[in-house]
Structure 1
């Protein structure tokens, strides 16, 4: 693109940034606390929190009353909750009368509610990276990793779509320009005809690798199949003759069978490249049965210069028999591959949606067609725009693009700056098409696209359409939703909004909601943050990681689809499993590599989120587990409690693999500190219960050790394990209310016994994700109403999602 493109758009973007500088301050005015009774504090609280005492880091005789300060507000909110729940004053102290407690809470509640109500409201919220990527790809029909081109989004607790955490910088604006340019490069047709669909049949025997490895590591059968006998590090399953020269969607059909095996053989279908540092994706896991040849087919996006890569799983030459006795004498199971067929690129439409969005009604004519050697080699043509009325054609295109980008009708005044930018470009001698591209790029760098513009108080129809769509499909509203917004049917009839929510939950794009919400809420996006110690956990592999992520996502999707009770979040009779997870969980089930719903044995530890390997991995560090870390995870994600950080000068308790007893002694000593006792009485019990699971989600009765201990007779990936049996696990505990449990299953039942709390937490998380703002004190009555409303129906998860959409919180700024 010409330099003028970047300079013009960047100048426009700087103007946008200037206009937005004031949008990130917390709204509302400072609110002074209407002085709670000092007499109440003096009589019941100052022994621990006044006159120089500051248990938990709180001094109530010196604390500020400026509720406009977030830290001050949070402290008073915590005081309210602990007095309301009977935790303050502590049980061994003098207790206030019912009237004293009621009067104190009433006064404090009124002040907190008023302050939060005046300051809350979704700040002008920017699209986060995922929303931006989805929207651009959906509007233009592209398939680009735009998120990686943008700076990482800020997070508020779990979520990365909360407006207060989403800033905007010059670097980000330049990234938006680059991203818009990349999208248009892919979307705008560079040829007059759609790309030719090529069909390639490939076989490992007819490759350079086959010449080297047949008869050594690979076996050639009479039917032409090539057999792999082990999960391959070298030689790999790269098939260089099944390669891609143009990025796009491809059908991949693999034909083969399980060789010398009574059981199916699982394998991965992926792609590899010679490019250094490039991602090597795995598209799917499939299995071949013994017997006649079978064909499995998948459809995947494959980038150019990639080759198909097949890798068997779960088979190994444990005794090196092939090296010792030759491949023809080997009797172990193998994966036989007869043929790989690659068909594509398959185009959804030609030209693309983005091309039509920009050029519909404009005469774009090819001027060259393979006339030069360079054109023949690149198969690209040159085009020019022929227009009798450039101003009219440009105005129509700009209006159409702006309407799609801004998610609502646009006025002449709103599109005028982009038309002016186009005319400036033309006046500087820029051709029609690059000048139009500059104007289009400016539209996609404008605040009306990058931000969800929402009016004060009740949202209008188009703001509601955008909020619903970005909530449930993570992208811009579709035509059906926009049509009802244009007609004013979303604000006028709540049932219309609910009807669209039901439709969008069934939309294929609804998988994005499940993925993005669970990635944030359960922290699944950090699954790669730690790498399990291969000496302690040699069974961990990429198939297990892919399976554990899919398990949790499919489980939550099933709860929505079946409208299952929220109790299933912690105690479910079913799980979403495949053969890899069944092996990992020691379940005697005959399953294939595809995830499917399975009824669990009675009292199985795998029912619910806390028994799922993904959750257990992201709440550990890859080597050991910490009851504190896992305890906080349970409190925040499932019970809606956010423990405050340790007081200044109080060190945390580090995980210790010397054994549960030693760690318990450390935590018992920690709880003897006055400022730590209350929080750790809540945090530690859930963490102790989860000690029955190791850092990769396997069940354990003993810790694993690399030092002393009994040897373990076990094979992992064809090799004996090196770890030893360590000290026994103690998963007993006492909850903060005095209730005790002897093991994880009993602890899980305690959680399941309070479905209202589980529902309240889930509703709060959904509302935060849907609205892009933190739920606060003045939202509590509405959230309680939603929970009460769903109680008689058993707190079905789909019902809770629907109640969120119908709520006043969702429909207001």
Structure 2
């Protein structure tokens, strides 16, 4: 975990100065000194614009030609030079006027809608090409720094350091820039002085946590609350008088409500239970008594915490025989108490709003430990209708109710894997008894720097860091503080932050084994190479094709491949956008934060399963299985799934949940919290599945408006009206059908056959129309037929996926020169069951991946 400890101010200022100075110089000189300036690149010949030139002369020259230049705009001599800012802005104006139907003006000779759309599409494609040209480097991968996820993963693996929620460098560093949909592209990952300053702060925290002094600040302690202690505590005697809770001699029975640690479980010598942030073991001894409905008893363990995503700790079925349920979770002093409750899914509630007289009698009975009297009063309260609301007739017979019986609660922590931690041992490899002198400093960084810089280092590089540390020792600082200073300097050095592949040559060159090891590991793991890759690089064997293919297979089987899931998978599938809009709580009551989390996790788990099991990537279009946990399965009305963990589940016949487009998260992304947005969903399908995003809409294109008072038009009907605008039809005809096909999924992804949300409720709501015609002319009647038509476009899908992953792997845009490679990768996928592993191997073994 990362923590804070005081360090000498002088050290911090010195190291900060050195980091900023070196970083700024490096950033200013890196692109030019290393011969990698993107400004020198070009992509090749521009597409022939004869057709567009003829269009402009026919329909535009009358107002914008040699004789007349309305608005000082002349188009008959407009050149297809989209790299020139002024010329490009003129083309953008032409495209926007065509899309808006403002050019040619009314009364002029008018082009057909197909002619206008063709010219607008050509301009848009040329603008995209020019943008990629601007970002390109003639097929070469230019120098880039690690993004924040890679930085966090590298620190984790370099120092064997685990992070608590909210304490990872990924959480502490500012968001990275993106290009081409990914935060891996070089031109979006520059390094400026303000970011270097943030890197320094994060490096300080890492160094303070990685290097420790003396014994743990708080030893591990175990605190237990036996339920019989509740009756002994006068501050909480009310619990036994609460409807829905029974106090037995040595246990407490929950029919509703919860029991908690009550501040009784305090760390020795402190006023709170949690003395410091860290990992804690929570244990509960409990069992269940099923009620009349025969349903299992579900126990939930929660903690007080300001962050909603850290509140739920455990939710599980309990057996009828006593068992100890255990979880190890991060906790901190902000957590306060934790509580154990029974999950009541039937909606049954015992009223807690009792009459004052009965409440006083119950209080006295609780203080006297007269539990029989407490229960008698509770029954009287329900039978005599002394609550503010009408009592539930089932409340008098509690044999019908499910019960959770809790014996004791226990919290143990803070937990330490070892002390000193592995991070400390990684640096001080000779142990605490070693002589603390300059030769030891030299040996420490002679071992550490090659790992941190991911290559062999020079004696000067080692001496530079050692001299910095020795300066601290000479100034009277401790040996540990001196090494901290060296560690901070290393962690904010450009040689650590950048994935360095230096080259001053004009021509491409092969990567050396060290560079190839890093490019491979940051592609598949989003982290530094491990020792096996370093060993192969050291021996000069990694470039051997068979060895490289074997390493790809090994790395894909490693747990660190979650870096590819959380990096490429999350950004390709846009899971970070699933919860951009919060569903209207009044209209969509089935939604809660836990469900929203499960929606995101399902999509990532689906990608991870396809990757690890070498499944066909066509499963993203359609499949007879999906990934579910209990919360999401309940939402999808699929039975038999228990627990928080996601697992592969075969779908029942007729289920619409197969593939990416059947996932609730995708549906919610294509909504605004109140209504579905078919255009947004259609853009998602084209972009994600086929890497074919539509042209950007013209300015002031607007959106499909909500129903005005008195109207009851569906979103589809309003969108069809929108399409009647001539300037809108050309774009929408290539987008809307993809979105209409998903209309059976409402705002939160529930399947519906009738409209819901907005003003639509009840039996009279209009039926869903999910039919449409794809741009290729093939029609479908609903979601099932739609997916079958998408499956026919498997080659298009493979090409789009190959383009996306190539951008991610190389950290640069796809260029015209990559066309042959992309064709080869797509063909290879088709021949090998469209697996992600075949695509990955093809990329890694390509010249593009192995050259600089």
TM-score (norm 1): 0.82
Are 2:88 and 2:127, in contact at CA under 8 Å, matched by a contact in 1? Answer: no
Partner of 1:792: 831
How far 1:781 sits from its partner (Å)?
A: 1.8
Distance 1:646 1:108, change over 3 A: closer
Partner of 2:40: 29
In structure 1, runs of 5+ residues without a counterpart are 80-88, 97-106, 366-384, 712-724
Partner of 2:418: 349
CA distance in 2, matches of 1:222, 1:674: 75
* Match for residue 145 of structure 2 among 126, 141, 144: 126
Q: Would you say 1:294 and 2:326 are equivalent positions?
A: no
Deviations 1:222-276 (A, max 9, x none): 474434444x6x8878786384434433443333233333222344444334xx6
* Match for residue 795 of structure 2 among 734, 739, 756: 756
Q: Would you say 1:216 and 2:242 are equivalent positions?
A: yes
Segment of structure 1 superposing worse, 324-333 or 156-165: 324-333
Partner of 1:325: 382
* Match for residue 411 of structure 1 among 458, 462, 468: 458
TM-score (norm 2): 0.78
Deviations 1:617-658 (A, max 9, x none): 233232222111111111111111122221234334346699
* Match for residue 81 of structure 2 among 58, 65, 70: 65
Segment of structure 1 superposing worse, 784-793 or 344-353: 344-353
Partner of 1:779: 818
Q: Would you say 1:547 and 2:598 are equivalent positions?
A: yes
Distance 1:634 1:204, change over 3 A: farther
CA distance in 2, matches of 1:339, 1:70: 74
* Match for residue 602 of structure 1 among 637, 653, 671: 653
Are 2:290 and 2:296, in contact at CA under 8 Å, matched by a contact in 1? Answer: no
Q: Would you say 1:7 and 2:7 are equivalent positions?
A: no
Are 1:357 and 1:400, in contact at CA under 8 Å, matched by a contact in 2? Answer: no
Distance 1:92 1:241, change over 3 A: same
CA distance in 2, matches of 1:188, 1:570: 49
Are 1:32 and 1:68, in contact at CA under 8 Å, matched by a contact in 2? Answer: no
* Match for residue 296 of structure 2 among 261, 264, 269: 264
* Match for residue 149 of structure 1 among 168, 172, 185: 172
CA distance in 1, matches of 2:750, 2:570: 21
CA distance in 1, matches of 2:820, 2:113: 28
Are 1:26 and 1:119, in contact at CA under 8 Å, matched by a contact in 2? Answer: no
SS at 1:601 equivalent: coil
SS at 1:448 equivalent: helix
Deviations 1:20-39 (A, max 9, x none): 03557961426496466565
Give runs of aligned pairs for residues 83-482 of structure 1, distance below 5 A: 118-140=137-159, 141-143=161-163, 144-192=167-215, 196-203=219-226, 206=229, 211-217=237-243, 219-220=245-246, 222=248, 224-230=250-256, 241=265, 243-261=273-291, 262-273=294-305, 280-289=310-319, 291-304=320-333, 306=335, 307-315=337-345, 317-318=347-348, 320=350, 325=382, 329-330=397-398, 331-361=400-430, 364=432, 386-387=435-436, 390-456=437-503, 457=508, 458-482=510-534
Are 2:707 and 2:713, in contact at CA under 8 Å, matched by a contact in 1? Answer: no
Partner of 1:20: 27
SS at 2:814 equivalent: coil
Distance 1:90 1:748, change over 3 A: farther
* Match for residue 749 of structure 2 among 669, 688, 697: 697
How far 1:217 sits from its partner (Å)?
A: 4.8
Segment of structure 1 superposing worse, 481-490 or 589-598: 589-598
How far 1:535 sits from its partner (Å)?
A: 0.5
Partner of 1:376: none
Give runs of aligned pairs for residues 637-786 of structure 1, distance below 5 A: 637-654=688-705, 661-705=713-757, 707=759, 709-710=761-762, 726-786=765-825
CA distance in 2, matches of 1:23, 1:516: 26
Partner of 2:665: 614
Are 1:68 and 1:115, in contact at CA under 8 Å, matched by a contact in 2? Answer: no
Q: How many residues align?
A: 749
CA distance in 1, matches of 2:750, 2:283: 34
Deviations 1:48-99 (A, max 9, x none): 7887799xx99796244255879969999xx9xxxxxxxxx98966999xxx
Distance 1:336 1:531, change over 3 A: farther
Segment of structure 1 superposing worse, 498-507 or 734-743: 498-507
Distance 1:589 1:433, change over 3 A: closer
How far 1:295 sits from its partner (Å)?
A: 3.5
Partner of 1:715: none
How far 1:280 sits from its partner (Å)?
A: 3.1
Coordinate RMSD, CA, aligned: 4.0
SS at 1:214 equivalent: helix
CA distance in 1, matches of 2:489, 2:686: 45
CA distance in 2, matches of 1:765, 1:336: 53
How far 1:215 sits from its partner (Å)?
A: 3.3
In structure 2, runs of 5+ residues without a counterpart are 1-6, 66-72, 96-110, 119-125, 267-272, 354-380, 384-394
Larger radius of gyration: 2
Deviations 1:144-196 (A, max 9, x none): 42223211212225322322222323332222222122122222232247975
CA distance in 2, matches of 1:459, 1:181: 33
Are 1:603 and 1:745, in contact at CA under 8 Å, matched by a contact in 2? Answer: no
Are 1:256 and 1:293, in contact at CA under 8 Å, matched by a contact in 2? Answer: yes
Partner of 1:382: none
CA distance in 2, matches of 1:667, 1:183: 53
Are 2:186 and 2:812, in contact at CA under 8 Å, matched by a contact in 1? Answer: yes
CA distance in 1, matches of 2:74, 2:307: 51
CA distance in 2, matches of 1:204, 1:51: 90
Partner of 2:98: none
SS at 1:703 equivalent: coil
Segment of structure 1 superposing worse, 397-406 or 531-540: 397-406
Partner of 1:578: 629
SS at 1:553 equivalent: helix
SS at 1:710 equivalent: coil
Segment of structure 1 superposing worse, 248-257 or 42-51: 42-51
Distance 1:707 1:678, change over 3 A: closer
Are 1:501 and 1:802, in contact at CA under 8 Å, matched by a contact in 2? Answer: yes
Are 1:142 and 1:183, in contact at CA under 8 Å, matched by a contact in 2? Answer: no
